[in-house]
Structure 1
Amino acid sequence: MPRIQRDPTQDEMPDFESEEFTATFTLLVTDQNPLEVIIQSTKDAWTAGHQKRLEEWERQVEADKEEERLQQEEQEREGEENRRAAEELESLRKAEVERKRPKVKGFIAQKQVSTHVAQRPCQYAVNKLRNVEYCEKWYFTPQGCEAARAEDRTVSTSALTLTQGEAGLVLTPAAVHKPSNKVVADEKLSWRDTSIAKGIMLNLIKNERNWPREHVLALITHYMEMDNHPLRVQDHGEEALIIYMAQVYREWIEQVKSTEDHIEPFDIGSTNEERVQAIYRKVLEQKQLSLMVRSVPISSTRKKQSLTSIPSPHLTHTFTHP
């Protein structure tokens, strides 16, 4: 619909009773349509048309106001979006600055350093343990913790590497993927080192959400069984128990982490005495064999020494005095 260019509210009805209009209307007068009727009909027609123009004008004015309101709202919305975008950019900038800023925690006034140096395994071992994966106990021994401290002094802890995660490639600290080249197999550890290592391991896993409560309790029971086992007072008994602990812990971790339906993990807290005794017998056999092997060179050496002490007839001379 074309726009109304002029405000009809200012229009006034023409004087249809003037001589000019009367002269025109007289030409239309008939017996059925007298002059008064013509004048009134003209007034009524003008009034109806004027009312229609007023209504159209009012709608146009309202439409203009609505359009202006919408434009104003759009401008305000764009302004708000620009403001929020600027705030977000500023927030990101501040976050980036904060991220690059070295993280320094506050300290408690007058609080002294601990009397004992805390045993802190390397990130590789902690990550393995946290994810319920097999990790050698050596990492949790004093030697392993000392190696971790030495490594921390020479390797940046901020170095990252790409690894495959559940949601794709992710950046993780490189230290959690780097095993030590000094690691000692569990079977080769001493009883003291094994005891220290298991204590640190249990302290780490007892609050880990990846470790179910019953698994932690089973592992605690396992180590308590070993600590109180009668073989500890027997010759080489602790060595056999260390081998047993090393074997069953690795097998248990492999089974509880297995995705194969037919594998039913055993209870590590229930000691298999037959296996313990079999390992103990094998340890004793190896000790006896080792003694026998070491005794052979000694006997051979003594035999050679006894043979060389007998004088050779070709080298025997009789000396006579003149």
Structure 2
Amino acid sequence: MDRIHQDPNLEVCPDYASDAFAQTRALLENDQLNQDQAIQMLRNIWEAGNNAAKARWQVQREEDRRRQEDHRLRNEEEQADRERLQIEEVEAALKEDRKKHKFKYTPIIEDLAVPNEPTVIPSSYATRKLDKGEYVELWYFTNAGLEEAKTKTTIEDDAMIMSTLPDGSTAWVAAASSRNAKVVIEDRDLSFEDFCQACPRFITAMETAGWPAERIKMMALFWRNLQIHEYRSETDPLSQKTLLVYQAEQRKRWHIAVKSAAGVYNLSLINEVLLERTKTKVYWDDRKIKDNERDYKVSFRSNIELQQFSNQYRHATNNLTIIVF
């Protein structure tokens, strides 16, 4: 159906009685239809067409209104989708920023004054490891480790530095993911005093890193059970060394088990069988060191005595007087 471009309600019926329509009237006039009747017929025909046009006009207006409404609704939906997408992008960016720079969003406690003691801040390497829930040496939380972190030249965590890999090769790595292996002391080689000093600081750092409460509790009980174990009070220094070696080995194994099919277990339950095996190993390692030191001293003393004898022999030879008969 052709589109109507003008409102038929505004149209006016032509004056069919005028001279302009004389020829049209003449075509209709006959013995049964006079002029007035012809004029009325023309008016009736026009009104019928106009009424039909009015009905089509109304339908057309309704269709136009419906299309406009549909278009408006689509535009509103599209605008709402764009706004929702923008909000989601902003929220995602904010979430990523909170994750990447979480300390920037730490809430302020208004009634908490400046503390008397400075906050314990471990190195970026240790903090990054804890954020990932990975193993990190206790040394980073000793006085020496915290002092090293405080005096170390400040480098952006995302800065790339050249690092030597375990296989001897070098590669560019993020500053926060690298450590100075030359100064880090393994857990097994810490003094028991440093071990006891680092544990509570480590627990606080785990809480800051958002570790699950049950894991923090397990680690706290693990270290407490070692610190109150009967080996702690024995006079034999190898007993305390055993506790340190057990702590170092079992904590590393636990972190390995977390990522394996075996799953996690309760590290705080001290395995006395493994502890006894560890003590035996520590004893023989210490025995080997002492035997090597003794052998070195004996060898060194023998070499000195041999050197002294050689010197005396040369001196005596040089003083000999040759007598000819």
Distance 1:231 1:67 in 2: 88
Distance 1:295 1:189 in 2: 27
Contact 2:16–2:42 (CA under 8 A) maintained in structure 1: no
Q: Which residue of 1 aligns with 2:241?
A: 239
Specify whether residues 290 and 53 from structure 1 end up closer, same or farther in structure 2 by C-alpha distance, changes over 3 A only.
Answer: closer
- Worse-superposed segment, 13-22 or 213-222: 13-22
Structure 1 residue 266, shift from structure 2 partner:
5.0
Q: Which residue of 2 aligns with 1:28?
A: 30
Distance 1:14 1:141 in 2: 111
Specify whether residues 285 and 205 from structure 1 end up closer, same or farther in structure 2 by C-alpha distance, changes over 3 A only.
Answer: same
Q: Does 1:221 align with 2:206?
A: no
Q: Which residue of 1 aligns with 2:175?
A: 175
Q: Which residue of 2 aligns with 1:254?
A: 256
**What are the superposed Cα offsets for residues 267-311 of structure 1, whole Å, 9 maximum, x if unpaired?**
4222333224313432552464256336526864896799799x9
Q: Which residue of 2 aligns with 1:268?
A: 267
Unaligned runs of 5+ in 1: 96-102, 162-172, 317-322
Structure 1 residue 179, shift from structure 2 partner:
1.2
Structure 1 segment 143-158 matched on structure 2, within 5 A:
143-151=144-152, 153-157=153-157
Q: Which residue of 2 aligns with 1:319?
A: none
Structure 1 segment 19-98 matched on structure 2, within 5 A:
24=26, 27-30=29-32, 38=38, 40-56=40-56, 62=61, 66=65
Distance 2:6 2:217 in 1: 90
**What are the superposed Cα offsets for residues 89-109 of structure 1, whole Å, 9 maximum, x if unpaired?**
xx9xxx9xxxxxxx8999979
Specify whether residues 312 and 245 from structure 1 end up closer, same or farther in structure 2 by C-alpha distance, changes over 3 A only.
Answer: same
Q: Which residue of 1 aligns with 2:168?
A: none
Structure 1 residue 174, shift from structure 2 partner:
2.9
Q: Which residue of 2 aligns with 1:201?
A: 202
Distance 1:306 1:156 in 2: 60
Specify whether residues 45 and 207 from structure 1 end up closer, same or farther in structure 2 by C-alpha distance, changes over 3 A only.
Answer: same
Q: Which residue of 1 aligns with 2:134?
A: 133
Specify whether residues 104 and 226 from structure 1 end up closer, same or farther in structure 2 by C-alpha distance, changes over 3 A only.
Answer: closer
Specify whether residues 3 and 195 from structure 1 end up closer, same or farther in structure 2 by C-alpha distance, changes over 3 A only.
Answer: same
Contact 1:219–1:268 (CA under 8 A) maintained in structure 2: yes
Contact 1:136–1:186 (CA under 8 A) maintained in structure 2: yes
Identity %: 19
Structure 1 residue 205, shift from structure 2 partner:
1.9
Structure 1 residue 56, shift from structure 2 partner:
4.8
Contact 1:121–1:144 (CA under 8 A) maintained in structure 2: yes
Specify whether residues 242 and 29 from structure 1 end up closer, same or farther in structure 2 by C-alpha distance, changes over 3 A only.
Answer: same
Distance 1:134 1:313 in 2: 67
Distance 2:191 2:135 in 1: 19
Structure 1 residue 126, shift from structure 2 partner:
1.7
TM-score, with length taken from structure 1: 0.63
Letter of the structure 2 residue corresponding to residue 247 of structure 1: E
Number of aligned residues? 277
Q: Which residue of 1 aligns with 2:191?
A: 190
Structure 1 residue 250, shift from structure 2 partner:
1.3
Contact 1:244–1:279 (CA under 8 A) maintained in structure 2: no
Contact 2:246–2:275 (CA under 8 A) maintained in structure 1: no
Contact 2:242–2:282 (CA under 8 A) maintained in structure 1: yes
**What are the superposed Cα offsets for residues 11-47 of structure 1, whole Å, 9 maximum, x if unpaired?**
23535599958983785114xx677765544443233
Letter of the structure 2 residue corresponding to residue 255 of structure 1: A
Contact 2:130–2:209 (CA under 8 A) maintained in structure 1: no
Structure 1 residue 197, shift from structure 2 partner:
1.9
Letter of the structure 1 residue corresponding to residue 216 of structure 2: V
Q: Which residue of 2 aligns with 1:99?
A: none
Unaligned runs of 5+ in 2: 95-103, 162-172, 321-325
